[in-house]
């Protein structure tokens, strides 16, 4: 369950989940588990930027939609959750698909 007081969401990759979408809507940091592991090795929290979750294409290029959204929310350029977004979730598993039919 997503909690509003959450500061970071730690996931291995972009996921079609309510928790992920809620974290994006709130402008929270969405980072990979390596952020925690490498911070632990370092002995203190590292900057989140290099660990932000991205979408990687076949050409080894990365796209960071989570970062773009977070920056818009934190700078106050967007006032509503998912304002202007068009989202298509392709969910193959029937039980998960039912969760998103609202």
Amino acid 97: pLDDT = 77
Q: How many CB atoms neighbour CB 35 within 10 A?
A: 22
Asked whether the beta carbons of 7 and 29 are under 8 A apart, the reply is: yes
Burial class of 19 by CB neighbour count within 10 A (0 to 12, 13 to 18, 19+): middle
- DSSP assignment letter at 77: S
Phi, psi of 94 (to 5 degrees): -55, -40
3-state secondary structure of 19: helix
Amino acid 13: pLDDT = 86
Q: What is the pTM of this model?
A: 0.67
Per-block average pLDDT, block size 10, for the chain (102 residues)? 85 85 84 96 95 76 74 76 72 79 61
3-state secondary structure of 58: coil
């Amino acid at each position: 369950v997503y909690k509003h007081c959450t500061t970071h969401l730690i996931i291995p990759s972009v996921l079609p989940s309510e928790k992920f979408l809620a974290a994006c809507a709130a402008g929270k940091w969405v980072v990979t588990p390596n952020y925690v592991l490498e911070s632990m090795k370092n002995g203190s929290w590292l900057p989140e930027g290099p660990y932000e979750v991205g979408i990687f294409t076949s050409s080894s290029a990365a796209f960071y939609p989570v970062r773009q959204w977070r920056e818009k929310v934190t700078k106050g350029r967007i006032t509503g959750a998912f304002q202007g977004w068009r989202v298509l979730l392709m969910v193959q598993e029937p039980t998960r698909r039912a969760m998103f039919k609202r």
